[in-house]
């Protein structure tokens, strides 16, 4: 009897334990049509609302006590789905749950009897931004595995290409090696491989507020042996969702978690659930309110009641009609040492102006990027000596890392399709020299046409200005293939209007590339703008300021010898020391009185001996350095300050003793509703008696029909005024497309107001020119309508400027200036 009782008890315990054990339920949630994984799907398994959400890759894992349960899957924009699981099913890890999308009216209006319940949650999240923002904590470090693939959307094969009777051979952006452009063949290739796969492993270290360093330890891009663009996967979105403006595809959008956002965004509490910690997760959709026109986002926020932090977010631009690239981002956060921190960032892209074509179909090119953050450390001890102003750099042997290194950090393992892409595209890349092509493109971005030992300066080939007319020539600089320690540069050119040859030569020694220490020796026999103003800055390739160079009228013929020493100091400060001698000869009839006695002694050739320092201070400006050694600025939110101090001497054949002090301050402010406010203030002071060449001739850019040139006086004639002391204030309020709410027609609007004052001592020393000064103040305003014609990448428009105040003309029409505007919409 005792044995029977013991046996029954034992069987009961085993039976009971089998039903009380934890059952593991795992699977993936996907879209029923696209078959793409769905991130952050709400999954609950009992009446209390407990459950989890799918990962950023659509995967989920549940540990439950009951073998027979019902799972409820709910997701914004999709129909709810309930599935029942019984003991034979639980424990499997390959469940595939398909959700079907439903029509979602973005303009649907919800009316609440009182306060919107979502607002209280959003307000709590906004109030706690400071403690939850990972870039506001003392320090952190992590290792990141980034992967991005580019492929084509097979579903877009159903879209026929509208062709004319005479059709050119389709461009094959997808690099298909076969000459068969049939739909069937294209689909076979797409199912077998991607267009491009790129991976990187990097480390990042950060000390609040501005010490930031990321190093690429390993990099791999299909078709390339030494890739330079491995950070693309995360450059399309901000690191965290807590700044006032989120960056997506290099454009800024107002964050819904910004003070005052409840007046601009519509929030809807879609669902709630509970975590295993018994925290509440509020699932809130958001979009700009009807009638509110601003650069906004739409998507879904998952707000966790613990610290009211963002747990997950899905977001994309609310208006995408004119976007070159449609980008959708996803971010997932976990608690690391009681600090919410991003652990995965996804970026999905659709290229709206790039397509791969077959004989009858056009396929959309898409990009899928994933970034996994691992080995996260909160508040580690980091040395500030590890940091400089190069925020991102690539290790020299990043492209040579062995496979076992990759396997150590590769969170998302390579699929058969990924491996096939590497195999196929690598062979094509070697045959078609992809590395050489990309390196050439990188060199082109610096303004040079690449060669093996000599890079040709593109700007030296053909140029134009009002004085010279068309200018043809050649110029360039030796490449790093010849030497990374020095380079030799030079140019020669011929102006067809002034019928004069010009040339220049230089040699540059790089003493310390890390701190940009160099010595440069140069000789110039060329032209310079008379009364011009220069600061320590590189030419802005994509700024309208460069258009003024084409309109300059008054030039000096200059013979100049110069020795220059430059370096970086205190991380954000650039300095250039120089000594130079020059001979300036005016190109007009201007002459200068050496004395004011009668008879006067006039000269029209001026010898200068000068020494000076030029500085540029850009706080928190960071740079990205490529394996080729090129540095590209990542910009700064802080003001940029320039300062020149130049002393003229009467020794070493110098004819003038003077001091020039010049400053410039520029800053862009981005506001919630008004777009970008750009301000620039310039000042100059010359103490001593000097000719026109070393004074300030204003900064006019007037032509009867010209191109809008930022930070200049659009209605001021060239060389209309002369000063030895001046101050200029340029203001531009660029509303962008905020004032026009249409999807198909959204021109940009900008208003401009410029003010200038100037004074001149010793008028009597200047001869054969009309002297006008600016003591009473020069004023002008303008209105620009940009992007009237929008070609996605380029936009064209026009504007009017009006001159008012003490120096306005008596004829009203003479005070107007009509300008064409050109914008680059990247």
Query: 522 is in which domain, residue-wise?
Result: 513-824
Residues 57 and 147 placed together within one structural domain of the fold: no
Both ends of the chain: CA-CA distance in Å? 86
What pLDDT, on the 0 to 100 scale, is given for residue 755?
Answer: 98
Give mean pLDDT, residues 319-328: 74
Residues 190 and 76 placed together within one structural domain of the fold: no
What pLDDT, on the 0 to 100 scale, is given for residue 84?
Answer: 83
Residues 741 and 800 placed together within one structural domain of the fold: yes
Residues 77 and 141 placed together within one structural domain of the fold: no
Q: How confident is the model at residue 47 (pLDDT cuts 50, 70, 90)?
A: low
What are the structure tokens assigned to 97, written together?
């749950």
C-alpha count within 13 angstroms, C-beta hemisphere, residue 92: 11
* Lowest model confidence (mean pLDDT) among 32-46, 352-366, 404-418: 352-366
Kindly state whether residue 209 falls inside one of the protein's structural domains: yes
pLDDT over 70 for what percent of the chain? 84
Q: Is the pLDDT of residue 67 over 80?
A: no
What are the structure tokens assigned to 168, written together?
């050119």
Q: Is the pLDDT of residue 15 over 60?
A: no
- 679-703 per-residue burial string, b: 16 or more CB within 10 A, e: under 16: bbbbbbbbeebbbbbbbbbbbbbbb
Query: Of 403, 432, 461, which one is at a domain's C-terminal end?
Result: 432
Query: Of 390, 415, 432, which one is at a domain's C-terminal end?
Result: 432
Residues 176 and 74 placed together within one structural domain of the fold: no
Q: How confident is the model at residue 743 (pLDDT cuts 50, 70, 90)?
A: low
Query: Greatest CA separation found in the chain?
Result: 142
Strands 606-618, 573-586: pairing kind: antiparallel
pLDDT in tens, 231-269: 555 567 788 899 888 887 777 888 999 998 999 999 999
Kindly state whether residue 749 falls inside one of the protein's structural domains: yes
Residues 661 and 763 placed together within one structural domain of the fold: yes
Strands 469-478, 390-394: pairing kind: unpaired
What pLDDT, on the 0 to 100 scale, is given for residue 435?
Answer: 77
Give mean pLDDT, residues 423-439: 82
Kindly state whether residue 488 falls inside one of the protein's structural domains: no
Give mean pLDDT, residues 326-336: 92
Query: Of 397, 432, 467, which one is at a domain's C-terminal end?
Result: 432
| The most confident of 190-199, 272-281, 606-615, by mean pLDDT | 606-615
Kindly state whether residue 112 falls inside one of the protein's structural domains: no
Q: Is the pLDDT of residue 173 over 50?
A: no
Whether the link from the prior residue into 820 is cis, omega within 30° of 0, is: no
The domain total for the chain is: 3
Q: Is the pLDDT of residue 64 over 90?
A: no
What pLDDT, on the 0 to 100 scale, is given for residue 11?
Answer: 41
Kindly state whether residue 460 falls inside one of the protein's structural domains: no
Q: How confident is the model at residue 372 (pLDDT cuts 50, 70, 90)?
A: very high
Residues 353 and 424 placed together within one structural domain of the fold: yes
Q: How confident is the model at residue 804 (pLDDT cuts 50, 70, 90)?
A: very high
What are the structure tokens assigned to 663, written together?
């400053």
Q: Is the pLDDT of residue 300 over 80?
A: yes
Give mean pLDDT, residues 689-699: 95
Kindly state whether residue 216 falls inside one of the protein's structural domains: yes
What pLDDT, on the 0 to 100 scale, is given for residue 139?
Answer: 95
* Lowest model confidence (mean pLDDT) among 217-226, 339-348, 518-527: 217-226
Q: Is the pLDDT of residue 724 over 50?
A: yes
Give mean pLDDT, residues 769-794: 89
Q: Is the pLDDT of residue 322 over 70?
A: no
pLDDT higher at 16 or 47: 47
pLDDT in tens, 666-686: 999 887 677 889 999 999 999
Burial level of 404, CB count in 10 A (0-12/13-18/19+)? Answer: exposed
Residues 675 and 763 placed together within one structural domain of the fold: yes
What pLDDT, on the 0 to 100 scale, is given for residue 234?
Answer: 55
Kindly state whether residue 71 falls inside one of the protein's structural domains: yes
Those residues whose C-beta lies under 8 Å from the C-beta of residue 414, and which sit 6 or more positions away, are: 422
Q: Is the pLDDT of residue 336 over 70?
A: yes
Q: What is the CATH number of the domain that holds 642?
A: 2.40.160
What are the structure tokens assigned to 51, written together?
């459950």
Within 193-267, residue ranges assigned H as helices are 232-235
Give mean pLDDT, residues 19-27: 66
Residues 76 and 159 placed together within one structural domain of the fold: no
Give mean pLDDT, residues 171-192: 57
What pLDDT, on the 0 to 100 scale, is given for residue 391?
Answer: 83
* Mean pLDDT computed over every residue of the chain: 84
pTM over 0.85: no
- Of 296, 391, 312, nearest to 346 by C-alpha is 312
Give mean pLDDT, residues 540-561: 87
pLDDT higher at 254 or 564: 564
pLDDT in tens, 149-171: 888 876 655 555 454 444 544 44
What pLDDT, on the 0 to 100 scale, is given for residue 5?
Answer: 43
Kindly state whether residue 215 falls inside one of the protein's structural domains: yes
Rounded-to-integer distance, Cα 121 and Cα 102, Å: 26
Rounded-to-integer distance, Cα 561 and Cα 523, Å: 5
What are the structure tokens assigned to 219, written together?
């990099």
Residues 749 and 634 placed together within one structural domain of the fold: yes
Rounded-to-integer distance, Cα 551 and Cα 349, Å: 41
Residues 90 and 125 placed together within one structural domain of the fold: no
Q: What does the chain come to in residues?
A: 826
In three-state secondary structure terms, 119 is helix
What pLDDT, on the 0 to 100 scale, is given for residue 385?
Answer: 85
Residues 682 and 753 placed together within one structural domain of the fold: yes
Q: Judge contact between 572 and 389, C-beta under 8 A.
A: yes
Q: Is the pLDDT of residue 662 over 60?
A: yes
pLDDT over 90 for what percent of the chain? 47
What pLDDT, on the 0 to 100 scale, is given for residue 490?
Answer: 96
* Lowest model confidence (mean pLDDT) among 150-159, 317-326, 631-640, 685-694: 150-159
Burial level of 420, CB count in 10 A (0-12/13-18/19+)? Answer: middle
- 203-223 per-residue burial string, b: 16 or more CB within 10 A, e: under 16: ebbbbeebbbbbbbbbbbbbb
249: alpha, beta or left? (left if phi > 0; alpha if psi -120 to 50):
left
Q: How confident is the model at residue 359 (pLDDT cuts 50, 70, 90)?
A: low
Q: What is the CATH number of the domain that holds 73?
A: 2.60.40.10
């Amino acid at each position: 009897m005792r044995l029977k009782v013991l046996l029954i008890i034992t069987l009961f315990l085993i039976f009971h334990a089998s039903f009380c054990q934890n059952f593991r339920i795992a699977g993936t949630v996907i879209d029923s049509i696209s078959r793409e994984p769905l991130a952050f799907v709400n999954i609950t398994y009992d009446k209390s609302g407990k459950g989890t959400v799918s990962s950023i890759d659509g995967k989920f894992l549940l540990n439950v006590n009951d073998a027979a349960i019902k799972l409820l899957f709910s997701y914004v924009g999709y129909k709810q789905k309930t599935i029942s699981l019984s003991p034979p099913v639980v424990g499997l890890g390959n469940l595939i749950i398909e959700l079907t999308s439903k029509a979602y009216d973005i303009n649907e209006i919800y009316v609440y009897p009182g306060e919107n319940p979502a607002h209280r949650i959003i307000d709590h999240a906004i109030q706690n931004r400071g403690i939850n923002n990972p870039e506001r904590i003392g320090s952190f470090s992590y290792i990141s595995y980034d992967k991005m693939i580019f492929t084509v959307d097979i579903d877009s094969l159903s879209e026929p290409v509208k062709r004319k009777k005479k059709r050119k051979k389709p461009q094959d952006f997808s690099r298909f090696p076969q000459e068969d452009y049939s739909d069937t063949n294209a689909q076979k290739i797409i199912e077998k491989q991607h267009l491009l796969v790129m991976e990187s492993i990097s480390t990042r270290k950060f000390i609040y507020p501005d010490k930031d360093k990321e190093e690429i330890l390993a990099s791999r891009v299909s078709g390339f042996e030494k890739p330079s663009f491995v950070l693309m996967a995360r450059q399309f979105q901000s690191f965290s969702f807590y700044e006032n403006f989120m960056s997506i595809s290099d454009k800024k959008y107002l964050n819904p978690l910004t003070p005052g956002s409840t007046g601009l965004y519509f929030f809807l509490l879609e669902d709630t659930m509970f975590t295993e910690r018994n925290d509440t997760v509020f699932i809130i959709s958001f979009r700009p309110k009807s009638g509110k026109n601003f650069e906004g986002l739409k998507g879904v926020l998952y707000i966790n009641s613990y610290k009211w932090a963002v747990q997950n977010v899905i977001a994309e631009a609310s208006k995408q009609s004119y976007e070159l690239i449609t980008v959708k981002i996803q971010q997932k956060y976990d608690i690391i040492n009681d600090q919410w921190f991003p652990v995965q960032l996804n970026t999905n892209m659709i290229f709206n102006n790039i397509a791969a074509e077959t004989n009858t179909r056009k396929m959309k090119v898409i990009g899928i990027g994933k970034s996994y953050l691992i080995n996260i450390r909160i508040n580690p001890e980091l040395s500030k000596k590890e940091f400089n102003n190069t925020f991102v750099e690539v290790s020299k042997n990043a492209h040579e890392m062995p496979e076992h290194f990759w396997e150590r950090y590769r969170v998302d393992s390579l699929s058969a399709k990924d491996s096939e892409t590497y195999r196929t595209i690598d062979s094509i890349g070697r045959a078609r020299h992809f590395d050489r092509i990309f390196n050439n493109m990188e060199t082109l971005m610096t303004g040079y046409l690449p060669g093996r030992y000599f890079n040709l300066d593109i700007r030296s080939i053909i140029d134009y200005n009002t004085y010279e007319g068309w200018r043809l020539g050649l110029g360039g600089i030796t490449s790093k293939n010849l030497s990374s320690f020095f380079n030799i540069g030079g140019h020669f050119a011929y102006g067809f209007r002034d019928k004069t040859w010009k040339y220049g030569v230089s040699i540059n020694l790089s003493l310390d590339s890390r701190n940009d220490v160099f010595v440069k020796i140069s000789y110039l026999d060329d032209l310079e703008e008379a009364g011009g103003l220069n600061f320590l800055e590189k030419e802005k390739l994509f700024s309208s300021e460069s258009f003024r160079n084409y309109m300059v009228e008054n030039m000096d013929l200059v013979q100049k010898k110069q020795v220059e020493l430059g370096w970086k100091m205190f991380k954000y400060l650039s300095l250039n020391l120089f000594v130079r001698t020059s001979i300036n000869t005016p190109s007009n009839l201007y002459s200068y009185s050496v004395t004011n006695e009668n008879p006067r002694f006039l000269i029209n050739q001026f010898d200068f001996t000068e020494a000076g320092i030029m500085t540029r201070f850009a706080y928190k400006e960071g740079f990205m350095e490529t394996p080729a050694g090129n540095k590209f600025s990542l910009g700064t939110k802080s003001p940029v300050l320039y300062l020149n101090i130049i002393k003229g001497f009467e020794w070493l054949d110098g004819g003038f003793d003077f001091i020039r002090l010049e400053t410039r301050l520029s800053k862009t402010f981005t506001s919630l509703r008004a777009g970008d406010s750009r301000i620039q203030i310039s000042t100059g002071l010359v103490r001593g008696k000097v000719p026109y060449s070393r004074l300030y001739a204003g900064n006019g850019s007037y032509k009867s029909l010209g191109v809008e040139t930022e930070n200049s006086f659009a209605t001021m004639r060239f060389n209309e005024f002369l000063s030895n002391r001046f101050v200029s204030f340029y203001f531009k309020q660029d509303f962008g497309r905020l004032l026009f709410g249409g999807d198909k027609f959204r021109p940009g609007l900008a208003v401009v107001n410029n003010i200038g004052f100037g004074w001149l001592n010793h008028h009597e020393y200047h001869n054969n020119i009309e002297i006008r000064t600016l003591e009473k103040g020069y004023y002008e305003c303008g209105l620009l309508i940009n992007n009237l014609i929008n070609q996605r990448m380029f936009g064209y428009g026009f504007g009017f400027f009006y001159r008012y105040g003490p120096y306005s003309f008596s004829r009203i029409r003479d005070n107007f200036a009509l300008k064409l505007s050109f914008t680059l919409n990247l």
